[in-house]
Amino acid sequence: MELRQRYEEDLYLVRGALGWTALLGVLAALALLPYLAPGYFLYTASLIAAHIVIAVGLNLLVGYTGQISLGHAGFVAIGAYTAGILAARLGVPWPAAILGAGAVAAGFGFLVGVPALRLTGPYLTIATLGFGIAVNQVLTNWERLSGGRAGLFLPKLAVAGVRLPDSQIYYLFAGLAAVLLWGAFNLVRSHIGRAFVAVRDSDIAAEVMGVNLTIYKTLAFAVSAFYGGIGGAMLAYLLGYLEPQLFTLFESIYYFSMIVVGGLGTIPGSILGAALLTILPQQLAGLKQYLPLVYGATIVAVMALEPLGVYGRWLKIKLWFKTWPF
Amino acid sequence: MKTASRLCLVVALLVVAATGAGAQSQERGVTDTEIVIGSSQPLSGPAAFWGQGVGGGMDAYIRMINDRGGINGRKLRLVLRDDGYSPTRAVANVRELVERERVFAIVSLIGSANAFAVRDYIIENSVLWVTPTADANMWAGFRNKKYLFVTYPGYVDEGRILTTYAAQKEGAKSVAVFYQNDLYGQKGLLGIKRGVAETKIKLAGAVPYEVTDRDMSGHALKLRQSGADSVILYATPTQGALIVREMAKIGFTPKLFASFTLADPLMFQLAGDAWNGIILTAYFPVPGVGDVKVDGMLDALLKVNPQLRASPFNALAGVSFIEPFVEAVRRAGPNVTRDSVVRAFESMKNWDGDVIRGVTFGPNQHQGINRIYIIKSENRQYKKLTDWITYPVGF
Amino acid sequence: MALLAQYVVGGLAVGSLYALVALGIVLLYRTSRVLNFAHGDLATFGTFLAFAMLTAARWPFSVSATLSLLLTAVLGAAFFFFIIRPAKESSLLGKIVITLGLALVLQGATTALWGTDTKIFPFPLSETKVYRLSGIVISQLSVGSFAVGLVLMAGLYGLVQHTRLGLAMRAVSQDTVAAQVLGIPVKRIFALTWGLASALGAASGILLAPVTLLDPYMMLDPFLKGFAAAVLGGIDSMPGAAVGGLVLGVVESVFAGYISVRFKTTLSFLIIIAVLVIRPEGLLGQEYKRRV
């Protein structure tokens, strides 16, 4: 058992030889994936990368800051359509389009955060839900902006005029997700992350201690929306086509389930939840009409058996191995 | 607690994704004994009524064909996957169908949004695609339709024809439109606007609704307020029935017209007496209109799968999508490849199946049907009013 | 003027149904602090049970309706006993996700048992028979639902405020541990609350089915509106649920009529958000005092 002797050791993301080996192993597996897996699997892997970014964003808001939001699909939609409009109508190249998507979504996140300062619990849930519905209806009916129900086509991802094949898209998305994950890990370990957790645990006590609620609550919304927007832009480029029905209340609930099933308030939990809930419906697609039954039952089973989510169970497994043979 | 953790670990280790091995074949999806086709449908979720009806109809038809010995010695195998009407899942399903199940062709795919999402992948991989179930007009002007064959009406053309019929034969002077707020309804509205311009009548109002809407009281009031003497419905059975009942309730009785999706006999049950005297379009003979072949097909389908009783119209529509493909495979003979089937399709001239009629393809015509006809509901049955009305071939 | 009155009356009619849905949500939230996202699907399942009894078994309406309410109540209580209670270490959000999973399971079960097609629900009151008062049209069914809704709301209010059982429910919602210490059978109260809330849901479903036509997804929109109405009125206040439902119904109807049919849901939610910003605990909710 390692003893921590310095504060810095507590802050390390990766600890010890075992940690580094595991991390390098995972990175190697991810890098080798295009050589081992068929094309459709790479599509799913890229989709998982986009969902991971979205889920991490939502977890920062719900898990770390305790603000229950059922309107995350609205931020994802704003990001996706910003990227779409920038790329398709204004010819902006994809790096700028993706960043622009994140920035615009973050702006909207800040705007939503302002009324959210007064609301908690189910009241905040309804307010964010309303935001999600409003975004959906505006995108459906403001046809000049979004193309309405006819949708919006995006140009394909290309570098120097050469179109990217599936494997390159996968590397791009995986790299983007890795960078954003690294950012999230560091954010959570910084004073901002601690402020978020303080707001979640008891916002009045936090304010008394000097945590400015206004700044940190709106910041949480903005950061969460930033991640959601980038995830949305990734979805837009992956699918190549956008339609308002891609971003409804159902999707907000879907992202919400991802983080809770994976592990609320943990970043690895978001990764696991996103991966699990993306793969599960696809693997079950052959069950046809029995899909909701099995999918729903799985979610219930996971949550009932392990309230801390999949990552929580993984932590318990690790702990059991660590304290073996007792 | 410990056993639970251990159990979880074991379960996790057992869940290893295995990629299926493709069968060795001459052409992807074709072996000496079978041809594999695939379809991605909304089999769960709010659009499940369509997916289960169409998918069920196709599946029952294929089983009938196989019972009779298949086509030229080969049996057909239909792989159905559920996409819940979500474009991301539709793309994943189509990719898995093509790359993992190695299907020879994709048949149908419900929803314009889903069709748009999978379009580029299917076209680029030269996959044979038979009747994506979306507005046929969406393909006009699209590049590279070599492997695409459509026997489904265009909503814009249909809307135009219905409106001109209403103006010229039924004396409609001003129309109001009740439409579903998606591509289906919006394209229909576009067609109606063209029809209105052609016949110089008035478009008094257009009231949209969302698929999840169930309270139509406001919509009915707006339709009445528009002062129109006719209302055209571009809706699906649930909301079609709801609006018709609501209009009757507030005492608004305009001339009623509707698009072919409401030619479902289900409407008699749902809308009751309010469904009398309504005029609709249809693109294949509707059950009960007196067409022996269609009624016979419906009976045969019900024998194979009695559950289709709940969605007879959709099941027949499913058959109408897949019939031309089966005929093309038959014409291609023992050598079934994508190109031989394409040639077989293009040889079809005014071909009549049991459900779909008058299918014509050619090297420059991949829109197989370009005609509809008008029916009217009387005494809980549909009666044919006109002969086939054609519209220009778009592609 | 008559047109405005018609919109308002239409809004009140549908609003009373939203209020019923909201009541079920509020009842459960007040006692167990769980936002039950399976409420709509439980209601749908109960309504289909009634439908099966009415059409397949051909039992009279009163028998079918009562039985279906009872069966749905049992189903709700079973959920609590076998799924929610064993998951007691779950955080609040965890319980919400469990109810989301339950909603999916119920949807799957409903479609598997009864198919996806739309059906007519046989109801003794007619939706098409109408009464006319000075130019305003109201259907027999709307009058009936409104009346039933009022009776149920009054009954529930009386139950919670004026009976010992209601007192126990209020005690459990304030402090579960203290209630246990005082000898209140907390498990039984929870099970009863879940059962009662589910039965209320089934009742709202049975009243809605003749209006919306019966299909497995008929409660998707009404559940959302009911949830919004519950929050608007104050999610721990039952009169609030009733008021919220009626207000939401009227607001939506008037917006659809005079401003925009396309954006009516957005506008309704914007109004709700505005109200919440001014009064964060909803129209009739108690101001939320917390210990820090």
Q: Which of B82, B45, B71, B39 is nearest to B58 (CA)?
A: B39
On whether the CB atoms of residues C208 and C40 are closer than 8 A, the answer is no
Is the peptide bond preceding residue A325 cis, with omega within 30 degrees of 0? yes
Select from 3.40.50.2300, 2.60.120.260, 3.40.50.150, 3.80.30.20 the CATH code of B34-153+288-363: 3.40.50.2300
Check CB contact under 8 Å for A289 and B48: yes
Does residue A82 surpass a pLDDT of 60?
yes
Rounded Cα gap, residues B330 and A207, in angstroms: 77
User: B148 to chain C nearest CA, in Å?
Assistant: 30
Instruction: Using the structure block, give the residue that is written with the tokens 């396309």.
Output: C262
Q: Which of B251, B249, B250, B244 is nearest to B274 (CA)?
A: B244
Mutation target to probe the C interface, by most C beta carbons within 10 A, among A128, A260, A288, A302 is A260
Could you give the percent of chain B with pLDDT greater than 70? 93
A123-159 confidence digits (pLDDT tens): 899 899 999 999 999 999 888 888 888 888 888 888 8
Query: Parallel, antiparallel, or unpaired: how do β-strands A158-159 and A162-163 relate?
Result: antiparallel
Does residue B9 surpass a pLDDT of 70?
no
Mutation target to probe the C interface, by most C beta carbons within 10 A, among A126, A135, A140, A257 is A126
User: B47 to chain A nearest CA, in Å?
Assistant: 11
Nearest by CB: C115 against B218, B219, B310: B310
Beta bridge partners of B110: B133
Region B277-303 average pLDDT: 89
Rounded Cα gap, residues A58 and A260, in angstroms: 10
Q: For all residues of chain B together, what is the average pLDDT?
A: 87
- CA C163 to each of CA C133, C166, C170: distance values in angstroms, whole numbers, following the listed order: 39, 5, 11
- CA A111 to each of CA A9, A104, A108, B308, C257: distance values in angstroms, whole numbers, following the listed order: 38, 11, 5, 50, 30
Q: What tokens does A222 get?
A: 């903005």
- Kindly indicate the confidence band of residue B7, based on its pLDDT and cuts at 50, 70 and 90: low
Label each residue of chain C as H, E or C.
Answer: CHHHHHHHHHHHHHHHHHHHHHHHHHHHHHHHCCCCCCHHHHHHHHHHHHHHHHHCCCCCHHHHHHHHHHHHHHHHHHHHHHHHCCCCCCCHHHHHHHHHHHHHHHHHHHHHHHCCCCECCCCCCCCCCEEEECCEEEEHHHHHHHHHHHHHHHHHHHHHHHCHHHHHHHHHHHCHHHHHHCCCCHHHHHHHHHHHHHHHHHHHHHHHHHHHCECCCCCHHHHHHHHHHHHHHCCCCHHHHHHHHHHHHHHHHHHHHHCCCCCHHHHHHHHHHHHHHHCCCCCCCCCCCCCC
When comparing pLDDT for C21 and A39, which is higher? C21
Rounded Cα gap, residues C157 and C237, in angstroms: 10
Contacts of B245 in chain C (CB under 8 A): 127-128
Instruction: Using the structure block, give the residue that is written with the tokens 């209580």.
Output: C77
Q: Which of B46, B235, C92, C22 is nearest to A248 (CA)?
A: B46
Does residue A216 surpass a pLDDT of 90?
yes
B342-386 confidence digits (pLDDT tens): 999 999 999 998 898 889 998 888 888 888 989 998 888 888 888
On whether the CB atoms of residues B76 and B70 are closer than 8 A, the answer is yes
Nearest by CB: B8 against A279, A292, A313: A313
Cα dihedral value A132, A134, A139, A140, nearest 10: 110
Interface of A with B (CB under 8 A): 37-41, 43-44, 47, 140-141, 148-151, 153, 235, 239-241, 243, 245-246, 279, 281-289, 291-292, 305-306, 313, 316-317, 320
Go through the domains of chain A in sequence order and give each one's CATH number. Answer: 36-322 (1.10.3470)
Contacts of C120 in chain B (CB under 8 A): 269-270, 272
Angle at C10 between CA C5 and CA C11, to 5 degrees: 95
Q: What is the pLDDT of residue B45?
A: 83
User: A137 to chain C nearest CA, in Å?
Assistant: 7
Query: Which residue is closest to A67 within chain C, CA to CA?
Result: C93
Q: What tokens does C85 get?
A: 């209670």
User: C256 to chain B nearest CA, in Å?
Assistant: 6
Does residue B23 surpass a pLDDT of 60?
no
Select from 1.10.3470, 1.10.3210, 1.20.272, 2.60.40 the CATH code of C2-158+187-278: 1.10.3470
Q: What is the pLDDT of residue B263?
A: 87
Nearest by CB: B100 against A40, A153, A287: A40
Does residue B20 surpass a pLDDT of 50?
no
Q: What is the pLDDT of residue B4?
A: 55
Query: Which residue is closest to A116 within chain C, CA to CA?
Result: C277
Does residue B17 surpass a pLDDT of 50?
no
Assigned superfamily of B156-282+376-390: Response regulator (3.40.50.2300)
Query: Parallel, antiparallel, or unpaired: how do β-strands B75-82 and A241-242 relate?
Result: unpaired
User: C105 to chain A nearest CA, in Å?
Assistant: 4
Location of each CATH 3.40.50.2300 domain in chain B? 34-153+288-363, 156-282+376-390
Q: How many residues does chain C have?
A: 292
Which C-chain residues 28-67 have CB contacts (< 8 A) with chain A? 29, 35, 37
Q: How many Cβ atoms from other residues are within 10 Å of residue C100's Cβ?
A: 25
Q: Which of A239, A249, A183 is nearest to A47 (CA)?
A: A239
Q: Which of C82, C113, C73 is nearest to C202 (CA)?
A: C73
Cα dihedral value B266, B268, B269, B272, nearest 10: 150
Nearest by CB: A149 against B2, B99, B186: B186
Rounded Cα gap, residues A134 and A154, in angstroms: 23
Highest averaged pLDDT of the listed ranges A85-99, A223-237, B282-296, C22-36? A223-237
Rounded Cα gap, residues B279 and B386, in angstroms: 11
On whether the CB atoms of residues C40 and C99 are closer than 8 A, the answer is no
C255-275 confidence digits (pLDDT tens): 888 888 888 888 889 889 899
On whether the CB atoms of residues B374 and B385 are closer than 8 A, the answer is yes
Q: Please compute, for residue C163, the number of CA atoms within 13 A of its CA located in the half-sphere on the CB side.
A: 9
Q: Which of B47, B83, B55, B65 is nearest to B308 (CA)?
A: B55
Does residue B12 surpass a pLDDT of 60?
no
Subunits in contact with chain B (3 or more CB pairs closer than 8 Å): A, C
Q: What is the pLDDT of residue A11?
A: 74
For residue B21, what is the DSSP state?
P
C200-223 confidence digits (pLDDT tens): 999 999 998 888 889 898 898 899
On whether the CB atoms of residues B377 and B278 are closer than 8 A, the answer is yes
Check CB contact under 8 Å for A317 and B95: no
B65-103 confidence digits (pLDDT tens): 999 988 988 999 999 998 888 899 999 999 999 998 899
Of the listed ranges A1-10, B137-146, B375-384, the least confidently predicted one is A1-10
Q: For all residues of chain A together, what is the average pLDDT?
A: 89
Does residue C90 surpass a pLDDT of 80?
no
Region C157-163 average pLDDT: 87
Query: How many contacts (CB atoms, under 8 Å) link B and C?
Result: 95
**Domain coordinates in residue numbering, chain C:** 2-158+187-278
User: B48 to chain C nearest CA, in Å?
Assistant: 6
Label each residue of A13-47 as H, E or C.
Answer: CCCHHHHHHHHHHHHHHHHHHHHHCCHHHHHHHHH
Region B298-324 average pLDDT: 91
Q: What is the pLDDT of residue A52?
A: 96
A240-257 confidence digits (pLDDT tens): 999 998 999 999 999 999
Residues 6+ positions from C5 with CB-CB distance below 8 Å: C135, C136
Rounded Cα gap, residues A15 and A26, in angstroms: 15
Nearest by CB: A260 against C97, C106, C273: C97
Rounded Cα gap, residues B73 and B66, in angstroms: 10
Q: What tokens does B118 get?
A: 């999978």
Residues 6+ positions from A6 with CB-CB distance below 8 Å: none
Mutation target to probe the B interface, by most B beta carbons within 10 A, among C221, C260, C261 is C261
Rounded Cα gap, residues B78 and B107, in angstroms: 9
User: B218 to chain A nearest CA, in Å?
Assistant: 18
Nearest by CB: C221 against B45, B212, B217: B212
User: B117 to chain A nearest CA, in Å?
Assistant: 6
Query: Which residue is closest to C252 within chain B, CA to CA?
Result: B218
Rounded Cα gap, residues C34 and C26, in angstroms: 9
Query: Which residue is closest to B45 within chain A, CA to CA?
Result: A292
C39-87 confidence digits (pLDDT tens): 999 999 999 999 999 888 888 888 889 999 999 999 999 999 888 888 7
Residue B162 parent element (H or E): helix B155-169
Highest averaged pLDDT of the listed ranges A45-54, A199-208, C11-20? A45-54
Cα dihedral value C152, C153, C159, C161, nearest 10: -170
Check CB contact under 8 Å for B208 and C261: yes
Rounded Cα gap, residues C23 and A163, in angstroms: 56
Which C-chain residues 246-275 have CB contacts (< 8 A) with chain B? 252-253, 256-257, 261-262, 264-265
Q: What is the pLDDT of residue B5?
A: 56
* Contacts of C34-38 spanning 24+ positions with Cβ under 8 A: C34/C84, C34/C92, C34/C95, C34/C96, C34/C99, C35/A122, C35/A125, C35/C96, C35/C99, C35/C227, C36/C99, C36/C197, C37/A253, C37/C96, C37/C99, C37/C100, C37/C102, C37/C103, C38/C79, C38/C99, C38/C100, C38/C102, C38/C103, C38/C106
Report CA C201 to chain centroid distance, whole Å. Answer: 5
What phi and psi, each to the nearest 5 degrees, are found at residue A55? -65, -40
Of the listed ranges A264-273, B18-27, B163-172, C224-233, the least confidently predicted one is B18-27
Could you give the percent of chain C with pLDDT greater than 90? 33
B147-198 confidence digits (pLDDT tens): 999 999 889 999 999 999 999 998 889 999 999 998 889 999 999 999 999 9
Interface of B with C (CB under 8 A): 44-46, 48-49, 52, 181, 207-210, 212-215, 217-219, 221-222, 225, 237-238, 241-242, 245, 248-251, 266, 269-270, 272, 274, 307, 310-311
Rounded Cα gap, residues B313 and C28, in angstroms: 42
What is the ipTM for the molecules in this complex? Answer: 0.88
Does residue A225 surpass a pLDDT of 70?
yes
Q: Chain A within 8 Å of C25 (Cβ-Cβ)?
A: no
Region B94-114 average pLDDT: 91
pTM (two decimals): 0.90
DSSP string, B330-351: HHHTT---HHHHHHHHHT--SB
Does residue B108 surpass a pLDDT of 80?
yes
C107-148 confidence digits (pLDDT tens): 999 988 998 888 888 888 777 778 887 778 888 888 888 888
Check CB contact under 8 Å for B81 and A285: yes
Subunits in contact with chain C (3 or more CB pairs closer than 8 Å): A, B
